[in-house]
Every structure is written in structure tokens, then in C-alpha cells.
Amino acid sequence: MSHPISLRDALPQAASLSIADRIIGPRRPALIIGEVAQAHDGSLGMAHAYIDAIARAGADAVKFQTHIAAAESTKHEPWRVNFSYQDATRYDYWRRMEFTPEQWQGLKTHAEERNLVFLSSPFSGQAVELLESLDIAAWKVASGEVDNPLLLAQMARTGKPVLLSSGMSTLEDLDAAVRLLRDHGAPVAVFQCTTAYPCPPDKVGLSWIAALRQRYQAPAGLSDHSGTIYPSLAAAALGVELLEVHVTLSREAFGPDVPASVTTSELRQLIEGVRFIEQAMDSDLDKDALSSEMSGLRQTFGKSVVLRYDLPAGTQLTEEHLTLKKAGGGIPARSMARALGRRLRRNMAADEPVTDETLLD
């Protein structure tokens, strides 16, 4: 039997890129990113706790957001949803989310000690400069920054890979962003993403993964905000190259992203499922070889020819004399015709297996 093509070999191929020591591309394990965003609520200790929890779950990368309030926002920025009990304005909230360069360095060092790629989305030119001073491995562009050519060009000029979220973008927006990044020599990957918290199933957009991969000839990812593991598992079956999910330590935690996040235990289950699916998709299973390996099981579970009732030696066998039962050991069920018309060599009891040795030629 000829070997079937691997499911992942059948997928549209796209260019590869490297992030830290990881190659992101066809037939490579997906880069799985645990997104912290503002789940730390401004607590440096909580930010470090998320690094440990995401590492224990088995993720490949941890991602934060780097906010410098004065560089990205005016004091009149409106709340999207006013969830804060302690911040009078959204500007105040962004200030509370800030870490110092030394604190960001500590987070990056901690992540790397836990074998995680450290990523963070910058929301201003100053944030890009801060992260570049840390020698960040790649840039993740938040959905709201895709149409910010100054920020994109600043990131692209570093030559590092740029990962684009598409949650608020038209195809025209994405085309322009990808063109700008490539004109500056930056490798690109694109995430299907829908900016809804949580995202309902009809807005996840799994069909766009292949479309984006083909349109940009680039690795394609899913940035999921459904708050479940299901879209990521489905994306793995579609051969996705990158996966990003928001993470929370508890469903009872504080913060606007909790309904759109998976818990760390769910993240672990998600990662185990993705790796299982990837291995299953990459298999070029040899059915003939597997059947040979399972010959013992075929003997146990397969049926063979036995007598319906006691018969004396010399009986010429007809279908009425025979039936098929487990376990194997007699003439195989598929070869029952081989026994018909032949005579018994000796007296035989009901349910006794009929073999070539019990029959006269």
C-alpha cells in the first residue's frame, strides 16, 4: 500500500521566519504564545507570576503590552469600558500599567530563564525604543496599530520579524501594512484576529487562516479571544503556524480581558491538544506495516471458522455446518469458502476451530 501524503504537506506552503531559535513555518510546531496583556493589573509581582504559570503550562512564548501613557495617549482618551475602581481616566490606567526599563529587563530575563520567548506589543515609538534596548526577538503589532505607519516603520527598520494582528483591519489595511514592513526588509507573519471580548464562534474566522497565508505567502496565526480552547485546536488541524491566547490565573480574577482568556490549566490542555494534533497530522502511517504489527490483536479480536455443532469424521462441510466466532485461530473469516466441500479428518466438537489440519485435502 502506498503511503498517503501528510495532511500538513497538503496545506498551502508559506515562507518561514525565525523568532529567537525557533523556525516558524510549514510543518513546524506552532509557536504558542500566552498573552498576559494587562492581566497583571500593574503589579510587577503578578507579571512574574504569569511568566511562571505560562511556562508551566508548556507555552513557547509569553507576551505583554508595553504602555508609556504620555507617549501613546492624551489625558482625554475615553474609556472603552470603565472597569477600573481606582483610575479616574484611561490615561491614569495606562500610567499604572507602566514598568520601568529595569523592570522590563527583569521580566525578559525571567521569561528566558523559563525557556520562553519574551514578546511585548509596543504602543508608541518610545515603547519600541525601550523594547529594542532589551533586544526583543520579534514585534507583535496590536490590532489598533496596524494602520500606524510610523510605528510599523520603526519596528521594521530593526529587521526583526513583525507579527501583525488583524482584529480591526480591512484587507486594504493589511495589504498596506505588509507592503510597508517588507519594503523595510522585515519578515512578516499575519494573525487572524477578531477584536471582540469574548469572541463568539461565528466571528472567530478560522477560514481566514489559509486565506491570509496564501494572500501574503507568510506564516499565518490565530489570535483568539473566545475564552475557550476550541478555536486553537481547530486552528491546529488547519496547520496554523502561530497561536496566541489571552491567559488568566483564575476566572474570578480582575480585569477586562478575563472573559476572553483561558485559565492556565486550560492553556496546558490546549497545548497538549495542539501537539497531539500536529503529530497526528504529520504521520505518514504505513497501514500494511501497522497491520503486521497487530497480527496478535487480529488473532484475539478477529473471527474464524468454527463448527456449529458436533460432527463425526468424514463429514463433508456445508455452510450449515459452519459459523464465525472469536477468537481467531481457525481458518480466517474472509477465507471461509476454503472449508466448504472438504471433509473432516476426525471427530470434532461444536465451537472447535476448523483449520486446514483438521480437514482432508
| pLDDT per residue as tens, the chain (361 positions) | 444 544 455 455 568 899 998 999 988 999 999 999 999 999 999 999 999 999 999 999 999 999 999 998 888 877 777 777 787 788 888 898 999 999 999 999 999 999 999 999 999 999 999 999 999 999 999 988 999 999 999 999 999 999 999 888 899 999 999 999 999 999 999 999 988 889 999 999 999 999 999 999 999 999 999 999 999 999 999 999 999 999 999 999 888 889 999 999 999 999 999 999 999 988 776 666 655 665 666 666 789 999 999 999 999 999 999 999 987 789 999 999 999 999 999 999 999 999 999 999 8
Do 154 and 297 lie in one domain? The reply is no
* Rounded alpha-carbon distances, angstroms, from residue 145 to 3, 148, 330: 46, 5, 72
Cα–Cα nearest to 354, from 294, 297, 292, 319: 319
* Rounded alpha-carbon distances, angstroms, from residue 119 to 35, 85, 162: 9, 29, 11
CB 343 within 8 A of CB 360: yes
Read off the CATH number of the domain in which 346 is found: 3.90.1210.10
Do 268 and 313 lie in one domain? The reply is no
Do 135 and 187 lie in one domain? The reply is yes
**Domain annotation covers residue 114:** yes
**Domain annotation covers residue 139:** yes
Give me 251's grid cell: 476566572
**Residue 333: which domain range?**
289-358
Cα–Cα nearest to 1, from 294, 288, 282: 288
Do 293 and 194 lie in one domain? The reply is no
Do 105 and 236 lie in one domain? The reply is yes
Provide the CA 276 distance to its chain's centre, in angstroms: 9
By CB neighbour count within 10 A (0-12 exposed, 13-18 middle, 19+ buried), where does 296 fall? exposed
Do 276 and 308 lie in one domain? The reply is no
Domain count, the chain: 2
Read off the CATH number of the domain in which 213 is found: 3.20.20.70
**Domain annotation covers residue 54:** yes
**How far apart, in whole angstroms, are the C-alpha atoms of residue 270 and residue 273?**
5
**Domain annotation covers residue 97:** yes
Do 54 and 109 lie in one domain? The reply is yes
Cα–Cα nearest to 235, from 247, 246, 227, 223: 223
List alpha helices for 199-250, DSSP H.
Answer: 207-216, 230-237
Do 102 and 133 lie in one domain? The reply is yes
- Report pTM: 0.82
